[in-house]
Amino acid sequence: MRTVLVTGPGGAGRTTVAAATALAAARRGSRTLLLSADAIPGFPDATEPTEVTEGLRFARVDSGEHFRAELLALQDQASPVLDLLGGNRLDAEELTELPGSGQLALLHTLRRAAEGDWSHDGHELLVVDLPPLREALAVLVLPEQLRRYLRRLLPPERQAARALRPMLAQLAGVPMPAQWLYETAARRDAELAAVQTLIEDRGTTVRLVAEPGPAAEDALRAARTALALHGLRVDTLTVNRVLPRHSSDPWFAALAAQQEKCVDHWYEEWAPATSLCEVPHLGRDPQGLDDLTLLDTGANRTAFEAAGTGGGRFEGDGLAVEPADRTAGRADNPWWIEGPSAPDGPDGVLVWCLPLPGAVKEELQLVRRGDELLLTVGPFRRIVELESGLRRCTVSGAALTDGVLRVRFTPDPGLWPRTS
């Protein structure tokens, strides 16, 4: 299944573009499912996939209902401990969702679409209307982060044998909660793994939406670096609410000229790796399927020839989504290693390389801790597990050149086998 994750700076119109993209794909013959936490004019307000028009179904992410269901289930699982402590059960009617529940509800909905009950409906395309950029980035990296926390806090290999639990409970004098804790952790890990697999799949891309102007410049620059840090691939930068280029009104013409200057800069910055799609301003807020269709038909998509084919721009197909022409499976890691892949001795130097477009040296921090590399770029952080060969090396230097972070690893003589 092809997946398109739509996000952008707040107020850029990402929900409208996500809906128009899903409708465009459906009318081009793809069975499409659209997910959004927001109500969309002209779409049914349903929390289960409901038909909007031929080939297009929509489901709204209900974070409040998900929070109540999950907390009540956790309360039931922890009932022995609650009874021991004399706790009073909470009723569904008195539960109000807490901050962060929307992120977990979105992950739960993605799992249902990836391998849950919604995955059996034969959808060819999944379009997800994500929150604004910073929050969307946090959601997309959350499965990897939570799975790491679970492995550290509740390592499966530390479980006590089943036969020992009754004895341990008698010695401790309280019921042992370990079994349900580990079972819950294993179930959550499996659910998070399904979402992580969807996000890291070759057929999953991010579609950015931005209204041209100074405010979007900084947001996109930071997002570009953060997306590269986590290996999230951008297929299109959608330039939304583009004004007509020529007007006799001086004020209107000046605003359009400012937009044009910004768009030209984005072409220079994002092309040719990423195509751009200019979506016209309708002069009103889009309402209903007819307006969404107008956005698609009026969109001017500019893609770029692949390297080695002569380069240059060519006109694409509006808001349409390119099919996944690559084999299914996990996308390649965003980093690569230069130097001898298996050095014969301690003299070979390996260079670990990661593209970080837009990053600046002053905002970059690098820490080696055990078998992990902790990378911080401004407000964004990622923990990378090193490959086996690099674990037997020490970090001997790092540099940021031409938008690529290069970390030098020198083999540790005490950890490499000696050859006679």
Q: How far is CA 349 from CA 370, 387, 392, 404, in A?
A: 19, 15, 12, 18
Report how far residue 142's alpha carbon sits from residue 130's, in angstroms, rounded to the nearest whole number.
Answer: 13
CA gap 251, 240 in Å, rounded: 20
CA 218 vs CA 70, 74, 392: distances in Å: 37, 41, 39
Pair of tokens at residue 381: 């952080």
> What is residue 246's predicted lDDT score, i.e. its pLDDT?
81
Q: pLDDT tens, position by position, for the chain (420 residues)?
A: 999 999 999 999 999 999 999 999 999 999 999 999 999 999 999 999 999 999 999 999 999 999 999 888 888 877 877 777 788 888 888 898 888 899 999 999 999 999 888 988 899 999 999 999 999 999 999 999 999 999 888 877 665 555 555 655 555 554 555 577 778 888 899 999 999 999 999 999 999 999 999 889 989 999 999 999 999 999 999 999 999 988 888 888 999 999 999 999 999 999 888 999 999 999 999 999 999 999 999 998 886 554 433 444 445 578 988 776 556 688 889 999 998 644 444 457 899 999 999 999 999 999 999 999 999 999 999 999 999 889 999 999 999 999 999 999 998 888 876 655
Distance CA 192, CA 178 (A): 21
Whole-number pLDDT of residue 416: 72
Q: How far apart are CA 314 and CA 13, in angstroms?
A: 25
Q: How far is CA 129 from CA 4, 36, 209, in A?
A: 9, 5, 11
Q: What pLDDT, on a 0 to 100 scale, did the predictor assign at position 339?
A: 83
Per residue in 327-336, pLDDT (tens digit) is 668 888 999 9
CATH topology assigned to domain 336-411: Immunoglobulin-like (2.60.40)
Range 2-63+98-315: architecture per CATH: 3-Layer(aba) Sandwich (3.40)
Q: Residue 305 and residue 318: Cα distance in Å, rounded?
A: 17
Question: Whole-prediction pTM value?
Answer: 0.89
Q: What ranges make up the beta strands (E) of 252-388?
A: 275-280, 300-304, 313-315, 336-338, 350-355, 364-369, 372-377, 380-385
The helix/strand/coil state of 181 is helix
Give residue 178's pLDDT. Answer: 58
Domain positions in the chain are 2-63+98-315, 336-411
Q: What is the pLDDT of residues 51-106, one digit of tens each?
A: 999 999 999 999 999 999 988 888 887 787 777 778 888 888 889 888 889 999 99
| Distance from C-alpha of 219 to C-alpha of 216, rounded to nearest angstrom | 5
- The pLDDT, as a whole number, for residue 345 is 43
